[in-house]
Amino acid sequence: MPAIRVLSFDHVAAILDGININDVLTSQAKAFHAYSANNTQTPQRETLITPYHRTLIMPARIDTLTSVIKVVSIPHKDSKDGLPGVTIVLDNETGEPKGLVNARLLTPIRTAAASALATRAIFTAKESQRAVPERLTLVVFGSGAQAKAHIQLLIHILPQMRNVIICNRTLPRAQALVDDLQRRYTNTNKSDNEKLNIVAFSMTTGESTGPIYAGSTSSMMSSTSSPQKPTQDPIQAQLRDIVQSADVICTCTNSRQALFPGEWVKPGTHLNMVGSFTPEMHEVDQSLIQRAFTLADAHRECEEEAGEFILAKSQTGDNGILTELGLIHDQDGRLDLASLPKEFSVAALSSSTVKGNKDVTIFKSVGIAAQDVAITAQVLERAEALNLGSCDI
């Protein structure tokens, strides 16, 4: 039996630290295309449920790449450092195990890559209509590994990003993420107009780690697609202003109830929803789902697994999902803007003066196993080139 290369958490962290983000995005786009073109095998995942966590076993194959088996556990309590998991990589010809890769960092990076691909598609449509503000505000719900990866990849694809607001129940955990990001993105050589402001807000106490700016959308702080109810609670009033300031919102939580009222989201906003993956989980309310044109990572899986979209389908017969990510990217991972339904461009152009039933866009991800094939094969190939990891029989 040939040697198996074992990559620990530290090995994977070192590889990701030096990896080209554009290569990751291209690799993931190819994986989505392969999935939509039926060039993958993704058997239904098996689930083990314990009093402490839910363990998912997910085999997958991309016909032109390789096969993997991923095992990941999802604790019932929040996990700030990513989900514990491991991926077994099989030799494409012999079927023998060739790699055992710690997946704790790979799950958030591949999930965030999907959101980045979707966001790039929506904003490319906006740019074609000259509808992108010079300064953008990103609002992220959650402060764990998914939140961190989403912030990093969205900053990469949207150089206009100037404000990042992290909303979390507790401030200390969010403060740790702010400190980490500020070390990475602080650049004293940039002008004040170019600097990135990163701040955290506690949804429980109303405290924040610094001043919260509305960015490009200050004039739209009270603009919604429908009249608002008065907000008496000062913390809720602050949260409303934060949500209304957002050009992009990412929900990276395991919430079972909506994180904010949908009416707070201003027209033209794009949302990436990556938290819900069971019928009981809901990160946003139905008023927002009904306002949105939705791009999915996997159409069928989102309709069967994501609580918000299951409920929408049962209530109205329409959940707003128009297409999936692999259908708007070609086999080389390039965006095919002509394949993006025109409805997304209409919603992307919405503003405080253009109001209608559909005036926001959503990318919904439940995660597909083909993503794990692509990111794990990419990391293992890099490890082989750098001779990283231990090799055991």
CATH architecture for the domain at 108-364: 3-Layer(aba) Sandwich (3.40)
pLDDT at 189: 61
Confidence tier at 226 by pLDDT (50, 70, 90): very low
Q: Do domains 4-107+369-392 and 108-364 have the same CATH topology?
A: no
Among residues 248, 243, 241, which one has the least CA distance to residue 269? 248
pLDDT at 127: 85
DSSP H or E run through 32: helix 21-36
pLDDT at 103: 94
pTM over 0.85: yes
Q: So where are the chain's domains? A: 4-107+369-392, 108-364
Confidence tier at 240 by pLDDT (50, 70, 90): very high
pLDDT value at 217 more than 80: no
Phi, psi dihedral angles at 107 (to 5 degrees): -60, -50
Region of 16 on the Ramachandran plot (φ > 0 left; ψ -120 to 50 alpha; else beta): alpha
Report pLDDT digits (tens) over 52-76.
999 999 999 999 999 999 999 988 7
Identify residue 305 by its one-letter amino acid code: E
Q: What is the mean pLDDT of residues 17-25?
A: 96
Report pLDDT digits (tens) over 196-209.
999 999 999 999 99
Task: Tell me the two tokens of residue 125.
Answer: 């449509």
Q: What is the mean pLDDT of residues 90-110?
A: 94
DSSP letter assigned to residue 359: -
Among residues 325, 277, 306, 300, which one has the least CA distance to residue 28? 325
Q: Which fold has domain 4-107+369-392?
A: ornithine cyclodeaminase, domain 1 (3.30.1780)
> 177, 215 in Cβ contact below 8 A?
no
